[in-house]
Amino acid sequence: MHSVRCEGSFDAAHFLSNYEGKCHNIHGHRWKIIVSVKGKLHNGMVVDFGVLKASVANLCDYFDHTFIVEKDSLKGEIMEMLKEDFILREVNFRTTAENFSKYFFDKLNTEYDCLYVEVYETPNNCARYTCE
């Protein structure tokens, strides 16, 4: 089986509600996404790297320089106030690397046969979601 790998990244803020650690506070990361897809070779390629890179970049661009908020984790009036001055991206999951890896896997797996997606919050810490 052949596979290829592509990387992307974005800078964004988030927080973890109802959490007792430092991540309860609003903070930011340089989120790094690594995607591996598999497949049979067509014209000597699993997929054109430019095509895969564009798909990953589109997902990263959506979140880049935003404040990512778990749905219903902030009061409505706070959300409305923040929306006046900031770009918020509301998601239906807790904003952990584990959940982001599944989110990106599910999005990309509609176009590609994904092996895994890794999401790094820091250069040394990542979560991986696989097809198995």
Within 10 A of 14 (CB to CB), how many other CB atoms are there?
A: 24
What is the average pLDDT value for the chain, to the nearest integer? 96
Q: How far is CA 51 from the centre of its chain?
A: 18
| pLDDT tens column, 44-76 | 999 999 999 999 999 999 999 999 999 999 988
Half-sphere exposure of 100 (CA within 13 A, CB side): 27
Tell which phi-psi region holds residue 109, choosing left (phi > 0), alpha (psi between -120 and 50) or beta. Answer: alpha
- Burial class of residue 95 in the structure, from the number of CB atoms within 10 Å of its CB (0-12 exposed, 13-18 middle, 19+ buried): buried
Q: Are 76 and 5 in contact (CB under 8 A)?
A: no
Domains in the chain and their CATH numbers? Answer: 2-130 (3.30.479.10)
pLDDT band at residue 131, thresholds of 50, 70 and 90?
Answer: confident
| pLDDT tens column, 68-104 | 999 999 988 999 999 999 999 999 999 999 999 999 9
Residue 23 is predicted with a pLDDT of 87
Q: Is the pLDDT of residue 3 over 80?
A: yes
pLDDT band at residue 126, thresholds of 50, 70 and 90?
Answer: very high
